[in-house]
Every structure is written in structure tokens, then in C-alpha cells.
Structure 1
């Protein structure tokens, strides 16, 4: 006659499955937390693009975005170390009359993980689109 209940092997199998699920959940949660901390980069890249466009409206020959307050390398935020900005085409060859992209990048404080967010201004559509943050390779 078999007694009611679970065998030790059955209980060990359940524990093993739960341990695997917990391991996956914890790594995903850490990744989610870092990505959330990097969301500020979208706002910062967008602010740089907005300031560039404001200067282009008032001065069609504007050509030095690197000098703008919102486009300069700056100290980090609560979650991010030093924040830097790059552009495509580079700020040194900037023109108000063509499409450009601004990328803000920074490391998450306390880690070696760098995230980037990019905002693109499409001159033909007169539209700004932002993407990210994405972990930098």
C-alpha cells in the first residue's frame, strides 16, 4: 500500500524548477532596473535636439550645437554617471538644412554598463523620433 504525500525526489524536482525560474527572473529584473534608470537619456537627447532646432529657427546659419547648454557633456543624474552627446553628422559639420541624430550615452552608476538613446530630426518630415535606451556594445 502506498502512503499519501510526495516523495523526496518529487519535492527536489519542484525545488530545482523553482530555482531555475528564480534565476531567470532575477537577471531580467536587474536588466529592467538598469534600463529604467537610463530612461533619462531619451529626455536629454530630445532636449539637445529641441535646443538645436530653436537656434536653427532664429539663425539659419547656426553651426555649433556643441556649444549649446543641452548638448554639452555634463555631470550625471541620480542614476547615471557623466553624460556625453554625439551627433551624426558630427557637430563640427552641422547644418540646419539636413537630417541629424543626437545620441546621449552614460554608464549606470555602480556598474560598467553603458546605455545610449538616440533622437533623430528628419528635416523632410520636420519630425523628431527617439529610440532607446539601449545597452551599448
Structure 2
């Protein structure tokens, strides 16, 4: 069996213009970037690495609701244009981007930690401990 590759119509369009000094423009409102994630798990916690380059630490927001995790970030466009200059090309993304995902077990939000360095957000998300009641405890509650 030969190699399998995923077909993306945007790649075909981009190939048509490869070599030109301008790249095809995407439709306005279309999100140009996304937060890319690596999620790992061990017995006690989840570890998430999220690529969010070019964003200030204070512009990143993480919310945890049980096993649901949401990450959002915003980059603001600098409006400084020097007199006598004009923008020929702007490829940098400005705006808000977000990503949500569900984990297999609830997270202990009070023990969670976040670190942001070199464009990568690292989340340490300890799993909530599940307390099991004995059958006698459960029968008393009925």
C-alpha cells in the first residue's frame, strides 16, 4: 500500500501561487492560527503543553470546570505606523484564539499550576481523588 496523505484544498491553491511574493489572502474572520496542544497523563495528573507564541502572559486565560479545560489568548495589534512608511505585507495574527478540550477525569483546580515560557504554556493539572465509600456507607444513605 502506498503512502496516504491528507488532501487539503488550500494547499493546492497555495501551490498555484508558490514563488510569487504575495501569498493568497484568507477570508476575513477566518482564524489564521490555533493553539496546538500536547496532553500527557500519568496516575496523578495531566500535563498540557500549549503553543501560544507572541502572547503576553497576562493575556492568557485558563478555566477549568471538572474535566473541561479552556485556554484563550489575545494578541493586540500595535497601531504605531511611522510617517512616510506603508505596510506592504502583514502576516502576523492579531485577535483572540481559544481552545477547549475534555479530560477523562476531573481536575483538582486548587492544586493546578501554570507556567509560560518561550511561547509555550505548561499546565500541571492534578486529578481529583475519588473517594470510594464502603457498601455499608452507601446503604445508610438510601
Higher helix fraction (1 or 2): 1
* Greater per-residue strand proportion: 2
Is the TM-score greater than 0.5? no
Q: Radius of gyration: which is bigger?
A: 1
TM-score between both structures, scaled by the size of structure 2: 0.22
- TM (norm. structure 1) is 0.22
